[in-house]
């Protein structure tokens, strides 16, 4: 049984008429603003090569761990979905059958942001007018698959159609950035920049740490097993990334720990962690390197993003068979006040430094992050992240943070996604939720509507540009 799929123009707004009407008005001012996407994980090859996407399953299911983790949680086999195994086995899943399984389980997404994003894509990108379910699955597959063969659905066409002003991808410090180079050299005007992600060369527990140091040495002609040359190599790579458009670095550490070691201590520790580091050696080295990265940011002006608190690859069997990023990263209790103190003692008062903090632990919004960002000039707060990139998550963020840190210690929205087609949907949700929050403040006489219009535009567009120097 098919039923009509539409996107209601008032979706996500409060159903209270007074607040809804204000939200509607605010939203009119931001709905069509260009998309600024300062942090995300789309594949630059898409925009460099501009090939057609292969099929609905590879485009909408395989890169979206939000989607397949839910299916997996209800007993769906990843092999049947065609999620690639590390060893290449079980790679023969039929994409259309995988799509059918997805459709059969689509009710699982009721109440989740994935449902909102996907429906938005179905309606706005593919003009589909029936809901996805078991009986419409093959219709969906065909419509989407047909569209994907056309010029209008190539990556650059979609980028332009989506009104993306700038998008940042994220590359490892040792990446050669050839796709970004190719985009730069092309006659296409789309702005696709990179972000400097040094985790693999900074985290001794990264499975490729030593191999990456070798690679770093080769790239820079420096001896990256030696501490001072290693730092020089990192400086060099940062400058290369900056030349290729990067305005930020990104640090995905297990905790927010920072440390100030002397050069001598750091040099000794660096030798140790190249051997067989203990967990505390590794933690201390990462902590120290976060401070060094801040120091380098003061030199080269790159904005520093810290994304701590994910317990990566929690499901060891899954990791063994399918590798990273398969929906098995689980948030952990994360502490910032003591963890960041060494960094803040050294550079926290510096108005030239810009550090954007993220969290997966919502308890720190009002207890730690808002008080820190509402005091230290170097700190700002990134938006509700990952599991909290959702209507309720965004509302909890604004409600917990604004009263202590205000709006101007926040940095607008990040979509943080690999799922390219969901980007307009995600920004739309963020804009609607910010309008919903602002409308409530107006309706309760805590803000004037004209102030709220300015704020809505700042939250949707200006703050991201300023905070990320775009």
Largest CA distance in the chain: 70
Q: Which of 34, 84, 323, 331 binds its own copies (CB under 8 A)?
A: 331
Question: What binding mask, one character per residue, do residues 65-94 give for its own copies by CB under 8 A, x or -?
Answer: ----xx-xxxx-------------------
Does 451 bind its own copies (CB under 8 A)? Our answer is yes
Instruction: Supply 141's token pair.
Output: 């597959």
Number of residues that bind its own copies (CB under 8 A): 90
How far apart CA 430 and CA 408 sit, in angstroms, is: 16
Instruction: Supply 189's token pair.
Output: 């005007």
- Shortest distance, position 153 Cβ to its own copies, whole Å: 27
Burial pattern 432-458, b for ≥16 Cβ within 10 A else e, equals bbbbbbbbbbbbeeebeeeebbebbbb
Does 184 bind its own copies (CB under 8 A)? Our answer is no
- Shortest distance, position 323 Cβ to its own copies, whole Å: 15
Q: Which of 86, 107, 161, 469 binds its own copies (CB under 8 A)?
A: 107
416 torsion bin: left (phi>0), alpha (psi -120 to 50), beta (else): left
Q: Which of 85, 341, 457, 465 binds its own copies (CB under 8 A)?
A: 341
242-271 residues in contact with its own copies (CB under 8 A) are: none
Question: What binding mask, one character per residue, do residues 296-315 give for its own copies by CB under 8 A, x or -?
Answer: ---------------x--xx
Of residues 8 and 32, the one with the C-beta less far from its own copies = 8
Q: Cβ-count burial of 123 within 10 angstroms (0-12 exposed, 13-18 middle, 19+ buried)?
A: middle
Of residues 149 and 345, the one with the C-beta less far from its own copies = 345
431-450 residues in contact with its own copies (CB under 8 A) are: 440-441, 443-448, 450
Of residues 59 and 318, the one with the C-beta less far from its own copies = 318
Of residues 204 and 342, the one with the C-beta less far from its own copies = 342
- Shortest distance, position 461 Cβ to its own copies, whole Å: 17
How far apart CA 279 and CA 91 sit, in angstroms, is: 36
Residue tagged 């990334």 (tokens): 241
**At residue 359, what are phi and psi to the nearest 5 degrees?**
-150, 150
Does 280 bind its own copies (CB under 8 A)? Our answer is no
Apex CA 224: angle with CA 221 and CA 229, to 5°?
80
Strand order in the sheet with 303-306: 171-172, 196-197, 248-251, 303-306, 355-357, 379-381
Does 116 bind its own copies (CB under 8 A)? Our answer is yes
Question: Which DSSP symbol is given to 295?
Answer: H
359-398 residues in contact with its own copies (CB under 8 A) are: 360-363, 366-368, 370-377, 379, 387-388, 390-393
405-424 residues in contact with its own copies (CB under 8 A) are: 405-409
383 to each of 105, 128, 173, 394, 422, how far by Cα in Å?
Answer: 30, 31, 24, 8, 17
- Shortest distance, position 284 Cβ to its own copies, whole Å: 20
How far apart CA 235 and CA 229 sit, in angstroms, is: 10
Does 348 bind its own copies (CB under 8 A)? Our answer is yes
- Shortest distance, position 169 Cβ to its own copies, whole Å: 25
């Amino acid at each position: 049984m098919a039923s009509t799929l539409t996107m209601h123009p008032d979706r996500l707004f409060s159903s209270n008429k007074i607040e809804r009407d204000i939200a509607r008005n605010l939203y009119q001012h931001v709905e069509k603003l260009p998309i600024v996407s300062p942090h995300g994980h789309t594949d630059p090859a898409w925009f460099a090569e501009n090939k057609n996407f292969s099929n609905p399953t590879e485009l909408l299911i395989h890169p979206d761990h939000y989607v397949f983790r839910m299916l997996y949680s209800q007993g769906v086999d990843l092999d049947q979905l065609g999620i690639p195994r590390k060893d290449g086995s079980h790679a023969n899943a039929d994409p259309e059958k995988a799509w059918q399984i997805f459709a059969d389980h689509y009710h699982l997404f009721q109440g989740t942001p994935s449902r909102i994003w996907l429906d938005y894509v179905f309606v706005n990108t593919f003009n589909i007018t029936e809901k996805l379910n078991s009986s419409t699955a093959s219709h969906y597959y065909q419509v989407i698959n047909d569209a994907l063969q056309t010029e209008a659905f190539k990556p650059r066409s979609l980028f332009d159609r989506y009104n993306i002003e700038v998008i940042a991808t994220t590359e490892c410090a040792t990446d050669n950035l050839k796709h970004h180079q190719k985009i730069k050299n092309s006659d296409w005007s789309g702005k696709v920049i990179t972000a400097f992600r040094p985790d693999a060369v900074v985290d001794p527990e990264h499975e490729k740490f030593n191999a990456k140091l070798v690679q770093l040495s080769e790239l820079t002609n420096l001896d990256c097993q030696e501490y001072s040359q290693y730092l020089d190599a990192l400086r060099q790579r940062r400058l290369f990334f900056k030349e290729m458009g990067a305005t930020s670095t990104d640090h995905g550490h297990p905790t927010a720990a920072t440390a100030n070691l002397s050069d001598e201590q750091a040099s000794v520790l660096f030798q140790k962690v190249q051997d067989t580091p203990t967990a505390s050696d590794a933690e201390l080295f990462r902590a120290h390197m976060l401070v060094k990265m801040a120091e380098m940011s003061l030199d080269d002006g790159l904005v520093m993003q810290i994304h701590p608190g994910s317990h990566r690859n929690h499901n060891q069997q899954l990791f063994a068979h399918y590798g990273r990023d398969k929906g098995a990263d689980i948030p952990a209790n994360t502490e910032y006040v003591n963890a960041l103190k060494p960094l803040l003692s050294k550079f926290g008062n510096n108005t030239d430094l810009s550090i954007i903090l993220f969290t997966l632990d919502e308890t720190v919004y009002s207890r730690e992050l808002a008080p820190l960002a509402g005091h230290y000039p170097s700190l700002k707060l990134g938006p509700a992240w990952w599991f909290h990139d959702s209507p309720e998550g965004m509302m909890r963020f604004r409600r917990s943070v604004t009263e202590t840190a205000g709006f101007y210690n926040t940095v607008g929205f990040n979509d943080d996604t690999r799922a390219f087609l969901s980007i307009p949907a995600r920004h739309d949700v963020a804009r609607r939720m910010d309008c919903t929050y602002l409308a409530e403040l107006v309706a309760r006489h805590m803000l004037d509507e004209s102030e709220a219009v300015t704020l809505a535009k700042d939250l949707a567009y200006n703050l991201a540009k300023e905070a990320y120097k775009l």
